[in-house]
C-alpha cells in the first residue's frame, strides 16, 4: 500500500482505541455547557453514537463508562453494545461531584467519608463484573487550595490505605489504573499530581495496579514522551487518556493542538513495546464543547492512526546509526522525515481495501445519521457531566 509496508499495515490493523461515553454527551466549561440537537439522553444512545465511530473507522471497538453518569441495567447495556458491534470497556469512578468529598474522598481525614468513597469503588468493580470490563480507572480531584490547609503526608498514607482496600476486591483478570493530574479542581496541591506519585502509590499495591497517563494533565513544557518511555520501562503504563491542549486540561481532539507531540509520544510507545500491547490501553478522554461529537471522535481516532503510521515509518536502523555516531542533525532528520511523510493517501487506499470508506468523515456525514438522531431524540434530558 504505497509507503506503508505490510508489516506496518498489520500493526495498524490491530490498533484499538477506546472511546469515552461522556464525549457523546454535552460538555463545556464553568462558563457554559452548550446543548446540541440529537445529543444522547442515556447510556444506550451514547453507545449507539460510539458504534458509529467504529463502523466507519474500524478503530474503536470498546466504550468506557463513567459511574454514576452511565448507571443503567448493565446486562441490557452490554447486550445493546454487542448488537451495535462494540463492547463495554474501562469503568471510571467518580468522587468529584459529591458534597461529602469537598475536602477529600480516599484521602479524607474522616474514616466515614473514606469508607463511602471506598464503597463507591467497590460498587464500580461490581459493575465491571457485570459489563465484563477489565479496568477500573481512578482519577481523584482531591487536594487543597491554600498552603497549610491540608496535611499532605497524612493524605498520602490514607490514600494508600484506601487503595489497598479497593485493590483487594479486584478479580484475577481485573486491574486498576490511577490517573494523575497536576492541578484542577485543586489549585494548591493535588494528591496524585504527577506520574511519580501515581507510580509510588500503584507500585505499593501490586501487579494489577498501573498508571494512567492523560496527555492533558502535565505542566506546560513537560516532556510527556519521556514519561511514557519511563513508565513502559518500569512496566507500569496501564492506559492513556488521549486528548490535546493549548493551555490547561482543554480536552481537545488528540493531535489537534500539537500533532508533533502526539507523534513523539507514539514513537516512544512503539520503541517501548507498548503498541497493540494488551497491557497498554489506548483511550480518548475528550469533550467536544462546540464541534459535533461523533465526527470529533472520528477525527480523533484517525489522528492517532495517522501518527501511529508515521511513527512506524521511522527508519530505526538509520536513526540508531546516527544516534550511536553522535550525528545530531542526521538523527533528528531521520525522525522528522517520518513525521513529515503524508500517510493519508495510503491509509485511504488501505481502508478501501478493507471495505471501509476511504474518507470515514465524509461517509458518515453523507449517512444522514446526525439529522436522524436530531429528529428522533426529542424530549427527555440531554446527557452531560451534570457538574
Ligand atoms: C479528569 C479526567 C478524568 C475523567 C474526567 C472525565 O480531568 O481526565 O479522566 O474522569 O476527566
Ligand atoms: Mn482523563
Mutational pocket test of ligand 1: of 69, 98, 138, 179, the residue with most ligand atoms within 8 Å of the beta carbon: 179
Return the H-helix or E-strand segment holding 189: strand 189-190
Residues facing residue 178 across a β-bridge: 138, 211
Distance (angstroms) between ligand 2 centre and the Cα of 240 equals: 8
- In whole angstroms, what is the distance from residue 143 CA to residue 374 CA? 40
Distance (angstroms) between ligand 2 centre and the Cα of 249 equals: 9
Q: Is 84 in the pocket of ligand 1 (CB under 6 A)?
A: no
Q: Is 139 in the pocket of ligand 1 (CB under 6 A)?
A: yes
DSSP of 36-91: -TT--SSHHHHHHHHHHHHHHHS---EEEEETTTT-S-HHHHHHHHHHTT-EEEEE
Q: Is 92 in the pocket of ligand 1 (CB under 6 A)?
A: yes
pLDDT at 386: 64
Does the pTM of the predicted model rise above 0.85? yes
pLDDT by residue (tens digit) across 154-211?
999 999 999 999 999 999 999 999 999 999 999 999 999 999 999 999 999 999 999 9
Distance (angstroms) between ligand 2 centre and the Cα of 179 equals: 7
Task: Give the atom of ligand 1 at the shortest distance from the alpha carbon of 94.
Answer: 10
pLDDT at 2: 79
Pick the residue whose CA is nearest to atom 3 on ligand 1. 139
Q: Is 179 in the pocket of ligand 1 (CB under 6 A)?
A: yes
HEC readout, 80-101: HHHHCCCEEEEEECCCCCCHHH
pLDDT at 385: 80
Q: Is 214 in the pocket of ligand 1 (CB under 6 A)?
A: yes
Task: For the chain, list residues with pLDDT below 70.
Answer: 1, 386-387
Sign of CA dihedral 323, 324, 327, 330: negative
Amino acid at each position: 500500500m504505497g509507503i506503508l509496508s505490510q508489516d506496518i499495515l498489520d500493526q495498524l490493523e490491530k490498533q484499538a482505541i477506546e472511546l469515552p461515553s461522556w464525549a457523546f454527551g454535552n460538555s463545556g466549561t464553568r462558563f457554559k455547557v452548550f446543548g446540541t440537537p440529537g445529543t444522547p439522553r442515556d447510556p444506550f444512545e451514547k453507545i449507539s453514537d460510539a458504534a458509529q465511530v467504529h463502523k466507519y473507522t474500524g478503530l474503536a471497538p470498546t466504550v468506557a463508562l463513567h459511574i454514576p453518569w452511565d448507571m443503567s441495567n448493565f446486562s441490557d447495556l452490554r447486550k445493546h453494545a454487542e448488537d451495535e458491534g462494540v463492547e463495554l470497556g474501562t469503568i471510571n469512578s467518580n468522587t468529584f461531584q459529591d458534597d461529602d468529598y469537598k475536602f477529600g474522598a480516599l484521602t479524607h481525614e474522616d474514616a466515614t467519608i473514606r469508607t463511602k468513597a471506598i464503597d463507591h469503588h467497590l460498587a464500580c468493580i461490581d459493575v465491571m463484573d457485570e459489563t465484563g470490563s477489565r479496568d477500573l480507572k481512578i482519577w481523584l480531584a482531591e487536594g487543597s487550595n491554600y498552603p497549610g490547609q491540608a496535611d499532605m503526608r497524612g493524605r498520602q498514607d490514607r490514600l494508600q490505605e484506601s487503595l489497598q482496600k479497593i485493590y483487594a476486591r479486584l478479580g484475577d483478570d481485573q486491574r486498576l489504573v490511577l490517573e494523575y493530574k497536576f492541578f484542577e479542581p485543586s489549585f494548591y496541591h493535588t494528591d496524585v499530581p504527577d506520574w511519580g506519585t501515581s507510580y509510588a502509590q500503584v507500585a505499593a499495591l501490586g501487579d494489577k495496579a498501573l498508571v494512567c497517563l492523560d496527555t492533558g494533565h502535565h505542566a506546560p513544557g513537560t516532556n510527556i514522551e519521556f514519561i511514557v518511555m519511563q513508565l513502559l520501562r518500569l512496566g507500569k503504563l496501564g492506559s492513556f487518556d488521549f486528548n490535546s491542549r493549548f493551555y490547561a486540561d482543554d480536552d481537545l481532539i488528540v493531535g489537534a493542538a500539537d500533532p508533533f507531540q502526539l507523534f513523539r509520544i507514539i514513537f516512544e510507545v512503539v520503541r517501548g513495546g507498548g503498541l497493540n500491547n494488551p497491557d497498554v490501553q489506548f483511550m480518548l478522554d475528550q469533550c467536544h464543547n462546540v464541534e459535533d461529537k461523533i465526527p470529533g471522535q472520528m477525527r480523533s481516532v484517525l489522528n492517532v492512526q495517522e501518527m501511529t503510521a508515521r511513527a512506524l515509518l521511522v527508519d530505526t536502523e538509520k536513526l540508531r546509526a546516527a544516534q550511536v555516531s553522535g550525528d545530531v542533525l542526521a538523527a533528528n532528520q531521520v525522525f522528522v522525515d517520518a513525521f513529515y511523510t503524508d500517510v493519508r493517501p495510503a491509509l485511504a487506499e488501505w481502508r478501501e481495501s478493507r471495505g471501509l470508506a476511504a474518507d470515514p468523515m465524509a461517509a458518515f456525514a453523507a449517512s444522514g445519521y446526525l439529522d436522524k438522531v436530531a429528529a428522533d431524540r426529542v424530549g427527555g434530558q440531554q446527557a452531560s457531566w451534570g457538574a
